[in-house]
C-alpha cells in the first residue's frame, strides 16, 4: 500500500484508558509495513500524510495534525468527534461499520426484542419474588417491531429479526427504498404513524439535534399501550423522566437501555433500581479489533484509489 511521499501508510491512533498495543498489533497483523503511532507519539505534521483512527480525541488535537488525510472513528457514533469545535471538517470522517459492530448490534437487538416479546423483565421479577406464574406471550406475527435508524446497523437488525415472523417497521430521517415485508416510515411526518404501529421499538439512531429528546412524553403517548423501548443508539434520544413516568403509569411496559445521557450511569442513579428497565453498560455493539483493523485498512485503500469510503460522515446530517 502506498501513501504519500515516503510510500508508507501512517496511522495515528488514539484510545485513552485502554491498552493500545493489541490495537496496533491488529493493524500490523494485516499489513506489517504500516507505521502505527499511538498517542502521544504521533510525531509532527511534517512526518508526512497520515490517517487518524481515534476515539474521543482531545479537542483541538486533530486540527494540529494538518497531515491527517481522513479520520476514522473507532465506534459507529461520531458525537465524540463532532463535539470538538476545532474538528477539521474538510477531510473525510468515517464512522465505524465493521462486521463485528453489525453482528454485535443485531445480537443485542434480537435478544432484547425476544426478551420484551416473551416478557422476560416480568419473569425476572417473578423469579426475585420466588413466584411461579403462567405467562403467555403473543404470537410473533401479532407483534410489530420498529427499527429507528435504518442505515448499516438498522438493516442488519431487520435481517436478523425477519426469520422470527415479527411485523417489521423502520423509521429514518430520510425516505429509503422499499423492501419486501418491511413498512418504512420517514421524517417528522412519518414518526407518529411509525410509533402508533410499533409494539417494540429498537433504536440505533445517532445523537443529532433532531434526535435529542425525540422520545418524550408526547411521542411516548403515541405508542400502543404495553409498548417497550430498546435503545442502543445514543442516550440523548430519550427523555428519561418521561420514559419512567410512562412506565410507571402503565402505558409503556418496559425498556432496555444500553446508552444514557451521561455515561457511565451514576452509581446512585434511580434508574438502576427500576424493575421494568434493564440496564446494560454500553455493550450492545463493541468494535472488535480484528475486524475494525480490516475495515480501516480497506477504506484507506479505497481513499487512496479515489473511491468513496464506507459510512462517510455527512456533516450536515450529523451522521
Smaller CB distance to its own copies: residue 68 or 277? 277
Site for its own copies in 254-273 (CB under 8 A): 263-265, 267-269, 272-273
Distance CA 183, CA 194 (A): 9
Distance CA 276, CA 246 (A): 11
Q: What is the closest distance, in whole angstroms, from the C-beta atom of residue 48 to its own copies in the complex?
A: 35
Q: Of 9, 26, 73, 100, which one interacts with its own copies (CB under 8 A)? A: 100
**Computed over its alpha carbons, how large is the radius of gyration of the chain?**
21
Q: Of 25, 30, 281, 298, which one interacts with its own copies (CB under 8 A)? A: 281
Closest CA to 1 of 42, 31, 24: 31
Q: How does DSSP assign 86-135, residue by residue?
A: T--TTS-EE----HHHHHHHHHHHHHHHHHHHTTHHHHHHHHHTT-----
Taking CB under 8 A as the rule, which mask of x and - marks residues 134-173 in contact with its own copies?
xxxx-xx------------------xx--xxx--------
Distance CA 206, CA 107 (A): 19
Which conformational region is residue 289 in: left (phi greater than 0), alpha (psi within -120 to 50 degrees), or beta? alpha
Query: Measured in Å, how far apart are the chain's first and last C-alpha atoms?
Result: 29
- Active-site choice (37, 234, 274, 298): 234
Q: What is the closest distance, in whole angstroms, from the C-beta atom of residue 3 to its own copies in the complex?
A: 30
Smaller CB distance to its own copies: residue 24 or 116? 116
Q: What is the closest distance, in whole angstroms, from the C-beta atom of residue 161 to its own copies in the complex?
A: 10
Interface stretch with its own copies, choices 31-39, 47-55, 240-248, 283-291 (CB under 8 A): 283-291
Taking CB under 8 A as the rule, which mask of x and - marks residues 206-235 in contact with its own copies?
------------------------------
Q: Which residues contact 253 (CB under 8 A, 6 or more apart)?
A: 116, 121, 226, 227, 228, 247, 276
Smaller CB distance to its own copies: residue 87 or 168? 168
In the residue annotation, 234 being an active-site residue is answered as yes
Q: Of 30, 59, 217, 283, which one interacts with its own copies (CB under 8 A)? A: 283
In the residue annotation, 90 being an active-site residue is answered as no
- Active-site choice (282, 288, 298, 317): 282
Site for its own copies in 110-139 (CB under 8 A): 110-111, 114-115, 117-118, 120, 123-124, 126-127, 130-137, 139
Alpha helices (H) along 141-239:
152-161, 187-196, 217-222
Smaller CB distance to its own copies: residue 33 or 136? 136
The CA-based diameter of the chain, rounded to the nearest angstrom, is 71
Closest CA to 15 of 30, 29, 36: 36
Alpha carbon of 189 to those of 141, 175, 205, 312, 316: distances in Å? 26, 11, 17, 27, 20
Size, binding site for its own copies by CB under 8 A: 48
Site for its own copies in 170-209 (CB under 8 A): none
Q: What is the closest distance, in whole angstroms, from the C-beta atom of residue 130 to its own copies in the complex?
A: 4
Site for its own copies in 13-42 (CB under 8 A): none
Kindly state the helix (H) or strand (E) to which residue 30 belongs, with its residue range.
helix 21-30
Binding site for its own copies (CB under 8 A): 100, 103-104, 106-108, 110-111, 114-115, 117-118, 120, 123-124, 126-127, 130-137, 139-140, 159-160, 163-165, 263-265, 267-269, 272-273, 278-283, 286, 288
Q: Return the active site residues.
A: 234, 282
Amino acid at each position: 500500500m502506498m501513501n504519500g511521499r515516503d510510500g508508507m501508510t501512517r496511522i495515528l491512533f488514539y484510545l485513552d484508558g485502554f491498552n493500545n498495543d493489541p490495537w496496533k498489533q491488529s493493524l500490523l497483523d494485516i499489513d506489517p509495513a504500516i507505521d502505527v503511532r499511538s498517542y502521544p507519539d504521533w510525531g509532527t505534521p511534517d512526518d508526512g500524510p497520515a490517517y487518524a483512527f481515534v476515539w474521543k480525541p482531545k479537542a483541538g488535537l486533530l486540527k494540529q495534525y494538518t497531515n491527517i488525510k481522513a479520520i476514522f472513528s473507532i465506534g459507529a457514533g461520531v458525537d465524540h468527534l463532532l463535539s470538538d469545535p476545532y474538528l477539521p471538517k474538510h477531510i473525510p470522517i468515517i464512522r465505524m461499520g465493521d462486521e463485528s459492530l453489525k453482528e454485535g448490534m443485531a445480537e443485542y437487538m434480537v435478544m432484547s426484542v425476544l426478551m420484551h416479546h416473551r416478557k422476560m423483565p416480568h419473569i425476572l421479577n417473578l423469579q426475585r419474588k420466588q413466584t411461579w406464574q403462567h405467562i403467555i406471550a403473543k404470537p410473533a406475527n401479532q407483534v410489530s417491531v420498529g427499527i429507528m435508524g435504518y442505515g448499516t446497523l438498522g438493516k442488519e437488525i431487520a435481517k436478523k429479526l425477519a426469520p422470527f415472523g415479527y411485523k417489521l417497521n423502520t423509521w429514518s430521517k430520510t425516505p429509503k427504498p422499499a423492501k419486501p415485508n418491511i413498512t418504512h416510515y420517514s421524517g417528522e411526518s412519518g414518526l407518529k404513524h411509525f410509533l402508533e404501529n410499533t409494539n417494540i421499538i429498537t433504536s440505533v439512531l445517532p445523537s443529532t439535534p433532531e434526535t435529542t429528546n425525540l422520545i418524550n412524553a408526547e411521542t411516548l403517548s403515541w405508542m400502543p399501550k404495553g409498548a417497550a423501548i430498546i435503545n442502543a443508539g445514543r442516550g440523548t434520544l430519550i427523555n428519561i423522566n418521561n420514559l419512567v413516568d410512562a412506565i410507571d403509569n402503565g402505558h409503556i411496559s418496559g425498556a432496555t437501555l444500553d446508552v444514557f445521557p451521561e455515561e457511565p450511569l451514576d452509581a446512585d442513579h434511580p434508574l438502576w433500581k427500576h424493575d421494568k428497565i434493564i440496564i446494560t453498560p454500553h455493550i450492545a455493539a463493541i468494535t472488535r479489533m480484528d475486524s475494525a483493523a480490516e475495515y480501516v485498512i480497506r477504506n484507506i485503500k479505497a481513499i487512496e484509489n479515489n473511491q468513496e469510503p464506507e459510512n462517510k460522515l455527512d456533516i450536515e446530517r450529523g451522521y
